[in-house]
Amino acid sequence: MAAYGESGSGLLIIERILRDREGIWRQIGEERDLGKLTKQMLYSSVVALACYGAVLGASSSVLQAVLSAAKLPLLFLMTLAICLPTLYLFNLVFGARLQVKQALALVMVTITVTSVLSLAFAPISLFFLITAFSYEFYKILNVAILTLTAFVGLRFLTSGMRALNEHTARLAAARRAEKERIEREEAVALAALATPDENAPVSPAPAPAPEPVPVGPAAQVGPVAAADPVAPAHGGPGQPLVMPDGRTIYPLAYPQPLVPVMRQPQAVPPPLAPGERPASMTLLNVWILLFGFVGTQLAWTLRPFVGSPGEPFEIFRKIEGNFYVDIVRAIGELFS
């Protein structure tokens, strides 16, 4: 599968993404040939979006079909250019290890999946265009197709970000293990240096000093000093105590001292370095909403994609209203 993944190119990159997505995530995580991978996805996306754009504009005229074929890839690429710096810089602020090429490759996977799936819906769109054309219905149908395919593409984005986070965690664990191994080797080396050499000559131990000989009354040690009727006789450590009245008390009879058991503190893992922190999935979801809002507003700015019947050909229309109000109005007219 890995060999197959490396050979995919051009339009076939979508087959690799769908069949070997783990290999795609691994390649992005390892930052291996990302330039080539991104170019393949860019080529595939532009061709697929141009074909689907031509289907959108075919409802009006040939000129509209050619214009929509150029504007639909431009719409996705401009949305990417506007939103990519936000994704990259926000991850840097939160300390995630996400390079520009990795972020670009992840978003290009989303655009590639969206564009090729949209192209797969082109026959359905053409079918309704030929058999039961209604401008409002045709516009809502294609908006629904693009929304569905974009949702699937964004699912690939979240899956890829999770895989990239797991790859980052594995790299961080490997670096920590390598650091601990080096520290252990250094500790063993220092301990070996501190151990004395067995072959080195050992200096003789100094002779013990002679005990002082008591002088005066302290020298009178006899039966009187040992015959203290109060002090108990003790045979030494672990031996029973013989009291003056003849009772014998064994050491076990004494209460054992309570030794406090000190609980070992649990090891607290060190905080992750900025290069080892995973990307925030919450931040990614916020960015996805931002990407959707920017894309829809940009699509409204670049309209028309589906030319209105009975109106003259226009490259761009006057900016008025917004995308969501127009869709609600179209749905109302469709069911009125």
pLDDT, position 3: 42
Closest CA to 17 of 115, 121, 156: 156
Distance CA 20, CA 107 (A): 17
pLDDT per residue as tens digits for the range 278-323: 667 888 888 999 999 999 999 999 988 987 777 788 888 887 777 8
Q: 174 pLDDT exceeds 90?
A: no
pLDDT per residue as tens digits for the range 235-272: 555 566 666 777 766 655 445 555 555 555 554 444 54
Identify the DSSP state of 242.
E
Residue 25 burial by Cβ neighbours in a 10 Å radius (0-12, 13-18, 19+):
buried
Name the pLDDT band for 106 (thresholds 50, 70, 90).
Answer: very high
Domain spans of the chain, in order of start:
2-187+274-335
pLDDT, position 59: 87
pLDDT, position 195: 66
pLDDT, position 11: 61
Comparing 43-47, 50-54, 260-264, the range with the smallest average pLDDT is 260-264
Q: 158 pLDDT exceeds 90?
A: yes
pLDDT, position 224: 42
| DSSP assignment string, 200-219 | SPPPPPPPPPPPPPP-GGGG
Could you tell me which residue, 316 or 193, shows the higher pLDDT?
316
Residue 151: enclosing H or E segment and its boundaries? helix 135-194
3-class secondary structure for 61-114?
A: CHHHHHHHHHHHHHHHHHHHHHHHHHHHHHHHHCCECCCHHHHHHHHHHHHHHH
Query: Could you give the percent of the chain with pLDDT greater than 90?
Result: 38
Distance CA 106, CA 258 (A): 63
- Considering 16-25, 210-219, 303-312, the range whose residues carry the highest mean pLDDT is 16-25
pLDDT, position 254: 46
- Kindly give the interhelix angle for 100-120 and 122-131, rounded to the nearest 10 degrees: 40
Could you tell me which residue, 55 or 210, shows the higher pLDDT?
55
Contact criterion met (CB below 8 Å) for 93 and 81: no
pLDDT, position 80: 95
Identify the DSSP state of 237.
T
Question: Hey, what are 284's tokens?
Answer: 């990614």
